[in-house]
Chain A
Amino acid sequence: MAEVSKEEIERKVAAGEKLDRADLRGAQLGGAKLAGASLRRCDFEGANLESANLQKVVLKNASLREAYLAGADLRDANLDGADLEGANLQKANLAGANLGRANLEGADLTGANLRTAKLAHAQLDSANLGGADLTAADLSRCDLVECYLGGVKASKANFSGANLEEANLEEGDFADASFDDAQLPSIGATAASFARANFLKADLSNANLVRANFGGADLRKANLERAKLDQTVLTGARIAGIQTKDAALGAIVMDWADVSPDDDGSKRAQGEAAMAALTGKTADVGARPKNVRYFGAGDVLRFAALEFDAGASVEIESRFEQCSIAIGEGTELIVGSEGVLAGCSIKGGGHITIHGQFFEGDKGPGIVGPRRVVVTTGGVLVGSVAQGDDPTMFGFEPGSRLRMKITRSTNGRRSE
C-alpha cells in the first residue's frame, strides 16, 4: 500500500522528480495536481484519482486496475500499454490521449471525452462507453467485444479492423466513421446513425439494424447474412457485392442505391432494381427496366412537350429548356446529377427524384400533382409544387438546395 501523502506526491511532481515505477496502490489522490508527471510503470491499482489533473502525464505501461478516475483530466496523457482493467473513468477527459494497446477490459467510460484519442489495438471488451464522445478517435483493430457503445458520438471515428462482436451501438452517431474489415457480428445497432460510414468488407452478420441509418454508407462486399433490417435507411448506400442471405428484410427506405462495383457512381438503381441488388435476386442489377427513356448528358432540348405513360422510367442527364413534361401514374422521373430542367413544368402523378437541377418557368407551378418528390444531396429545386388530391410525399436530403413553395390541391381539400 502507498504511504506517501497526496501533498508529498504533488510536491515531487512540482519539483520535476520522476515517480516511475512508484508503488501507489490504493493512494488517495482525489483532485491531485499531477499534470505533466512522469509515472511510467507506476502501480495505482485501486487508487483514488477522482477529478485529478493528469494532463499530459506519462503513464506508459502503468497499472491503474480498478482505479477511480471519474472526472479526471487526462487530456493528451500517454497511457500506451497501461492496464486500466475495471477502472472507473466516468466523464473523464481523455481527449487526445494515447491509449494504444491499453487494457480497458470492463472499464467504465460512461460519458467520457475521447475525442481524437488513440486507442489502436486497445482492449475494450465488456467496457461501458455509453454516451462517450469518440469523435475522430482511432479505434482501429481494437477489441470491443460485448462493449456498450449506446448513444456515443463517434463521427469520423476509425474502427477499421476492430472486433465489435455482440457490442451494443444503439442510438450511437457513427456518421462518416470507418468500419472497413471490422467484425460486427450480432451487434445491436437499433436507431444508430451510420450515414456515409465505410463498411467495406465488414461482417455485420446477425446484426440488429432496425431503424439504423446507412444513408450514403459504403456497404460494398459487406456481410449482412441473417441480419435484421426494418425501417432501415439505405438511400444512397453503395451496395455492390453486399451479402444478405437469410437476412430479415422488413421495410427498407432506399429511394436509390449505388450499385457500381468500383465506387465510381456509374450505376444507380431505384425501386425494385435497388431491392434486387440488395437481395441478390437479380443478377444484372444495372439493367434498365422496360419502358425506359434516357436523355444523355450533353443533349439540349428546347420547347419540347413530352408525355410519358404510366409506369415508365425516365432518366434525364440532359439540359431541358422551356419544356413541358406530362407523366403518368407511377412514372419514375429522375433528373440525374448532370440533368438541368430550366423553365420547365412537370405534370402528373408520378415519382420525381432530383439529383440535378429543376427551375420552373414563368408560369408556375412548375410541378403539379406528383405522388412523390425527392431532392437528393446536391439537388436543386426552384419553383412551386402543387400537391394533388392526395398529399405529395416529400423527401429532402441534407445538402439539397430549395427555393420552393408547396401548395395544396386546388380541388378544395383542407386539412385544418
Chain B
Amino acid sequence: MSDMEKKTLVEEGTEFKGSLTSKCPVEVRGRIDGDLNAPSLHVSTSGAVSGKVYVGQLVSQGEIAGEFDADSIQLSGTVKDNTVIRAKTLEVRLTPPSGNKMQVIFGEVALDVGDAPRDAASAGGKKKKTDEKEKDGKSVPPPGE
C-alpha cells in the first residue's frame, strides 16, 4: 500500500453532516451523515456512513445505512435497516472457523448486484402457473440414486 496516496480522511471522533464530493479516495473512521460522491470509499471498523453514496469502489468494515451505488463492493461489519445496495460486483466473506461466525450483520436490506438474472426457461414457466392440470399435481418423490 502506498502511504503517499492522497485521500480524504474522516478521522475517528469526527462527525460530518452534509454533502461530500471528492476526487480522492475517502476513508471514514468517524461518521458521515449525508450524500457522498467519490472514486472510492473505505469505511473502517470504527466508521459509519449513512446517506446516499455513489462511488467506484466501496470497502466497508464498519456500519453503513442508506443507498449505495458502486462498481464493486466488499462488505463486512453491519448493514442497517432500509439500506439499498446496488453494485456490479459484491463480495461478502464468511469468517472462520468454517463460517461459524458472521462477517456481516444485515438488517432489512435490498441487494441489486450484477446483470439482471433471468431464468432461461421461464418463458414457458409463466404459462405453467396457470396450467390447471399441473397445479394440482402431487408431490414427486426425488429420483433414486
Q: A residues within 8 Å of B by Cβ?
A: 111, 131, 151, 171, 230-231, 233, 250-255, 271, 275, 293-296, 299, 301-306, 319, 321-322, 340, 342-343, 357, 359, 362, 372, 374, 380, 382, 387, 391-408, 415-416
Chain B residues numbered 23-55 whose CB sits less than 8 Å from any CB in chain A: none
Asked if residues B80 and A416 are in contact (CB atoms below 8 Å), the reply is yes
Closest 6 CB pairs of A and B: A251-B96, A401-B114, A251-B97, A380-B117, A402-B113, A395-B94
- Say yes or no: A392-B93 contact (C-beta < 8 A), given A296-B143, A304-B139, A382-B117: no
Instruction: Give A394 to B85 CA distance when docked, in angstroms.
Output: 15
Q: How far is the CB of A168 from chain B (nearest CB, A)?
A: 14
A303–B98 CA distance with the chains assembled, in angstroms: 34
B contacts, CB < 8 Å to A: 1-2, 4, 72, 80-81, 89-99, 101-117, 119, 121-122, 125, 128-129, 134-135, 137-143, 145
Distance in Å from the Cβ of B145 to the closest Cβ of chain A?
A: 6
**Among candidates B89, B99, B104, B143, residue contacting A295 with C-beta atoms closer than 8 Å:** B143
* Neighbouring A residues of B107 by C-beta, 8 Å: 406, 408, 415-416
Question: In the bound complex, what is the Cα–Cα distance between A391 and B115 (angstroms)?
Answer: 27
Can you list 15 A-B pairs with a CB-CB distance of less than 8 A? Answer: A111-B4, A151-B2, A250-B97, A253-B98, A295-B142, A302-B140, A304-B140, A382-B117, A393-B94, A396-B92, A396-B111, A398-B89, A400-B114, A401-B117, A406-B110
Contact A342 B122 (CB under 8 A): yes
User: Using Cβ atoms and an 8 Å threshold, which residues of chain B touch A305?
Assistant: 139
With the chains together, A343 CA to B99 CA distance in Å? 28
Q: How far is the CB of B1 from chain A (nearest CB, A)?
A: 5
Q: How far is the CA of A294 from the CA of B142 in the complex (A)?
A: 8
Nearest Cβ in chain A — how far from B17, in angstroms? Answer: 20
**A151 — which chain B residues lie within 8 A by C-beta?**
1-2
Bound CA–CA A24/B115 (angstroms): 59
B114, A253: Cβ atoms closer than 8 Å: no
State the Cβ distance, A117 to closest chain B Cβ, in Å. Answer: 18
CB pair B128–A403 under 8 Å, yes or no, is no
Identify which of A359, A387, A396 contacts B119 (C-beta below 8 A).
Answer: A359
The answer to whether A395 and B93 touch (CB under 8 A), given A151-B2, A302-B140, is yes
Q: Check if A403 sits within 8 Å of B80, measured CB to CB.
A: no
Cα separation A401 to B115 with both chains bound (whole Å): 7
Let me know if A271 and B115 touch, CB within 8 A: no
Q: Are A393 and B98 in contact (CB under 8 A)?
A: no
> Chain B residues near A230 (CB, 8 Å)?
96
Inter-subunit contact B117/A403 (CB<8 Å): yes
A254 touches B98 (CB 8 A): yes
Q: Which residue of A131, A343, A372 contacts B2 across the interface (Cβ within 8 Å)?
A: A131
User: Is A302 in contact with B128, judged by CB distance below 8 angstroms?
Assistant: yes
**Distance (whole angstroms) from the CB of B25 to the closest CB of chain A:** 15
The answer for the CA separation of A205 and B114 in the assembled complex, in Å, is 38
Please determine whether B94 and A343 come into contact, CB atoms closer than 8 angstroms: no
Question: Cβ of B129: which chain A residues have Cβ within 8 Å of it?
Answer: 322, 343, 362
Report B-chain residues with C-beta under 8 Å of the C-beta of A406: 106-111
What residues of B have a CB within 8 angstroms of the CB of A359 in the complex?
Answer: 117, 119, 122
The docked-state distance in angstroms from the alpha carbon of A404 to that of B72 is 17
A402, B112: Cβ atoms closer than 8 Å: yes
Q: Chain B contacts of A231 at CB under 8 A?
A: 95-96
Q: Is the CB of B108 within 8 A of A408?
A: yes
- Complex: how many Å from CA A225 to CA B72? 35
**What's the minimum C-beta distance from B96 to chain A, rounded to whole angstroms?**
3
How near does chain B come to A403, taking the closest CB pair, in angstroms?
Answer: 6
A90 to B119, CA, bound (A): 53
Q: Which residue of B lies closest to A324 (CB)?
A: B139
Chain B hits for A393, CB < 8 A: 94, 99, 101-103
CA distance A394 to B139 in the complex (A): 30
How many Å from the CB of B44 to the closest CB on chain A?
15
